[in-house]
Amino acid sequence: MRQNESLKVFRSPDLPGIEGVSGKYIHNHFRRHFHKTYVIGLVEQGMRKITSDTGSTRIAEGEIFILNPGQVHACTSERNVGHTYKILCVPSEILQKIASQISGTQVKGPCFNQILCKDKVLSEKFFHIFDIMENPGSDIRFKHTLISFFAYLIITFSASSCSMGLPGDEKGIFKKACEYIKQNYSQNLSLQKIAESICLSPFHFHRVFKKKMGITPIEYLNDFRIRKSRKLLLYSHSMADIALQMGFYDQSHFSRIFRKTVGVPPGRYRGTNRDESLTG
């Protein structure tokens, strides 16, 4: 029998933009996607497999993994059992600022070439950060603790500085397509409608978009919708209303895509995180 899955989100007023996520007993297979932020995580229980363009990487208990902004990947729990993990989502400008302070000159964001980071000290620092996040007020030095962790990560594991621009930020048809999606996500968008907005055939648009972005246009659209819906779930909107506002066919369609993307059903996500709307 599966243990109860849960996903809890934490935010700190000390460093706006940083989001902590604590997932417990997550079985979900997360299809190909990317994040606008750095994603730094640690597996507490079980094993996580991350697949990217460089191959598959297995993250065991107590190990750290990191993904760069815009790095397309898929991930799943190994051995057909749920895994428990903690994740920090960090805006690129925060690590860019710390990297510049370390080097003494203005640099682009750090680039991490390896997903797996095996380092006992790093893992201990990571656990300490979440201990503070999960127990607000337990340490007035939280900001210093977090910056110290980021500095250690950059010094120990970053390969170089690299451009942190996402594929969707590029000029040309990709930028136009992404902007069209952001402005019309609440509509009943189809591949054909998006392609017509930039004067391309659906087949050609799908092929070049996937080649450049790593995911399909519809996957990009649904990822954007789910990011929006996570905020609405913290308030008193009905599930059916959220589904319609986000452009899904119905509540069932919304729930299915939400679980595939986030790892838990929207109702459970709301129940676990609703109180956070009062503080974050």
- pLDDT band for position 170 (cuts 50, 70, 90): very low
Q: What value does the mean pLDDT take over residues 231-258?
A: 91
Domains and CATH numbers, the chain: 6-161 (2.60.120.810), 167-278 (1.10.10.60)
Assigned token pair, 16: 């706006």
Residue 90: what pLDDT?
A: 94
Cβ atoms 33, 72 nearer than 8 A: yes
Q: What's the half-sphere exposure (Cβ side, CA atoms, 13 Å) at 14? A: 17
26's CB contacts (< 8 A; 6+ apart) are 5, 7, 77, 82, 83, 84, 85, 263, 264
d(CA 94, CA 37): 10
- pTM, entire model: 0.74
Residue 167: what pLDDT?
A: 44
Tens digits of residue pLDDT in 68-112: 998 999 998 877 778 999 999 999 999 998 888 877 777 788 999
Residue 169 has pLDDT above 50, yes or no: no
Tens digits of residue pLDDT in 186-215: 998 999 899 888 888 888 888 888 887 888
189's CB contacts (< 8 A; 6+ apart) are 181, 221, 247
Distances (CA, A) of 182 to 19, 109, 149, 216: 22, 25, 34, 15
